[in-house]
Structure 1
């Protein structure tokens, strides 16, 4: 179960991105986008995938309660009393309507409506919505929608297109659109985080598994933004060169986004530490963090950040990796830039961890 749930969460992001990107691009004139060739079977399978992959959090909740109340009662209770179960049933019905609409070549407006309703269903099932309904519903829905529409368009342009002629016209509208998406993602993400981890407890939460995944997610977003800069700004300048093919660099960006999806999926499996100090005292700190720091962590009151030689060195190396991603544009294969992005995540993570003062 611990392995299947993250896979289901990643799959959920991917299939939603494929479908939302497909619908969004239908509203863009043919002259302003590359020619997209995607099989209807992929769209239908993605719709089916929504029904299957959104079952992951439901299965996790059922598994949690099945030992105490029995499997049958756990299934019934989760599907009828829990927001995550109600949302899955609702999304399941909407996915059937979307499947039929795609099969019959229905209106793009109708496809957009079903997807928007399903996104609201995802927001309804979120953890923050159980704490503050309206804030959680709209903040999580906006966050999820912006992530999937941005990623979805990138997936279609990178993996389902071989047309390079309209790249400049595509970037003319997509670059400002992506900037708006990023701004909304950051604002909604901070809003959601405040309900889970208080800002003053952010560094202290790193001693817990949830805080670890949150830190890794935030670090992994940085190379995504660097790749977005490359594909949105530098590629625009290189688009005039006949030999330049932007698709491999967009594929590289989508791979880095997949890493963010992984950390997000693992994050969804962990219990949010609303009270970091209480969680550490009752459940204990992460064994991994204690191993890295070489200390037993019994309290978080004295935890902070302090500079030392090794942490500064690692942070400087991480910045070098980040600058190499930009300087390697058009000079090396994009897969090398992906490796540099992963190296940045690795060194930045350990640089911050080793700067923790217990």
Structure 2
């Protein structure tokens, strides 16, 4: 359980750092000034600690025979995973030094070389942490590149959402922020969907194998959760921009935060997926895929559709955006149940 929950927290730490760097680069001084430096330092330390958890699992596996200290030394200095963690730790220490020595909280002009150094170190952290992903293990450097594009696109988009949702001053206008963030989000989402499709096609070549594997079922949940997330993106990217043009004082903070919470849910599902074996590695994959017109499946599908309609109604009637969160989750569960009833 600790390994599964540790990975979403690791993603959250990356999102905090990358979101912080993004708002500095975008010139959002009001947001950057509100992000506490201790939070950034905690996120950097969190990457160092949380990325050790997979190694801890290996150490504990061998500790029963060789002892904890001997197993820890062997894992850190003999295994490739341990050497990769050494790079992670080095990048974390260098970034801590850069953050503590150079003030980065105001603007890209004042940050100077410190901002660029943090970006390079952050890229190094992303490579070292994702070096043993499913894609890298199966497809080498090409797989790592696709996984990195997916990972960094998600972190830039979600990290900026988190930074704006929790640290943008309530007295400031959202028009300027949404103007550039809308473009960033569309580019990031295009890269996320494209790289995600490549990874899904590579790791699950046959849909039938996904129906019986924990990895495939989690991937289905993740893809279904993206549907209400895209609807949130449409609301925040188009409808709220239109509303702001009519009412400059409108504050869409709760909608931004609600979208960020959905992203956190995807982090959790992704963390679970990465702890599972991919379908191609299963000894007995499913032999076929059969569709059934199950009456209950149609009922669940209707319920899922109703949840999406209800989500739109929450926005149109100016209700609290947090009411849309349970509707998004109910949609995901109902749609998942409908698909599983259709498939046997």
SS at match of 2:136: helix
* CA gap 1:109/1:304 in 2 versus in 1, 3 angstroms: same
* CA gap 1:30/1:159 in 2 versus in 1, 3 angstroms: closer
For the pair 1:260 / 2:266, whether they are aligned, the reply is: yes
Contact 2:175–2:248 (8 Å) recurs in 1? no
Task: Provide, for residues 197-228 of structure 1, a one-character-per-residue CA deviation record: whole Å limited to 9, x for no partner.
Answer: 21xx2243222222221111111121111111
Query: In the alignment, which residue of structure 1 is the partner of 2:191?
Result: 184
The structural deviation recorded for 1:332 is 1.5
Task: Provide, for residues 301-348 of structure 1, a one-character-per-residue CA deviation record: whole Å limited to 9, x for no partner.
Answer: 243233222112211221221122122115211111001001101100
Contact 2:211–2:343 (8 Å) recurs in 1? no
Query: In the alignment, which residue of structure 2 is the partner of 1:162?
Result: 169
Task: Provide, for residues 241-286 of structure 1, a one-character-per-residue CA deviation record: whole Å limited to 9, x for no partner.
Answer: 255211111110111111111110111111222155x335xxxxxx
Match of 2:84 among 82, 87, 107: 87
Instruction: Give me the whole-angstrom Cα distance separating, in 2, the residues matched to 1:315 and 1:267.
Output: 25
- 78-87 or 15-24, which deviates more: 78-87
Query: In the alignment, which residue of structure 2 is the partner of 1:102?
Result: 99
Match of 1:132 among 129, 132, 139: 139
For the pair 1:351 / 2:344, whether they are aligned, the reply is: no
Contact 1:66–1:74 (8 Å) recurs in 2? yes
Contact 1:34–1:164 (8 Å) recurs in 2? no
Query: In the alignment, which residue of structure 2 is the partner of 1:234?
Result: 239
Q: 5 Å matches for 1:1-358?
A: 3-30=1-28, 36-66=33-63, 71-72=68-69, 74-105=71-102, 107-163=114-170, 165-198=172-205, 201-240=206-245, 241-242=247-248, 244-276=250-282, 278-280=283-285, 300-329=286-315, 331-357=318-344
Pairwise CA RMSD: 2.1
- 236-245 or 155-164, which deviates more: 236-245
The structural deviation recorded for 1:84 is 3.2
Query: In the alignment, which residue of structure 1 is the partner of 2:110?
Result: none
Contact 2:4–2:272 (8 Å) recurs in 1? yes
The structure 1 segments of at least 4 consecutive aligned residues displaced by more than 6 Å after TM superposition are: none
Instruction: Give me the whole-angstrom Cα distance separating, in 1, the residues matched to 2:215 and 2:92.
Output: 31
* CA gap 1:203/1:175 in 2 versus in 1, 3 angstroms: farther
Contact 2:173–2:248 (8 Å) recurs in 1? no
The structural deviation recorded for 1:171 is 1.4
SS at match of 2:34: coil
Instruction: Give me the whole-angstrom Cα distance separating, in 2, the residues matched to 1:234 and 1:246.
Output: 11
Q: How many residues align?
A: 332
SS at match of 2:279: coil
The answer for unaligned runs of 5 or more in structure 1 is 281-299
Contact 1:273–1:279 (8 Å) recurs in 2? no
The structural deviation recorded for 1:75 is 3.3
Contact 1:34–1:170 (8 Å) recurs in 2? no
* CA gap 1:273/1:219 in 2 versus in 1, 3 angstroms: same
Task: Provide, for residues 51-107 of structure 1, a one-character-per-residue CA deviation record: whole Å limited to 9, x for no partner.
Answer: 011112222333445557665554344434544332221111001000111111252
Task: Report the TM-score when normalising by structure 1.
Answer: 0.86
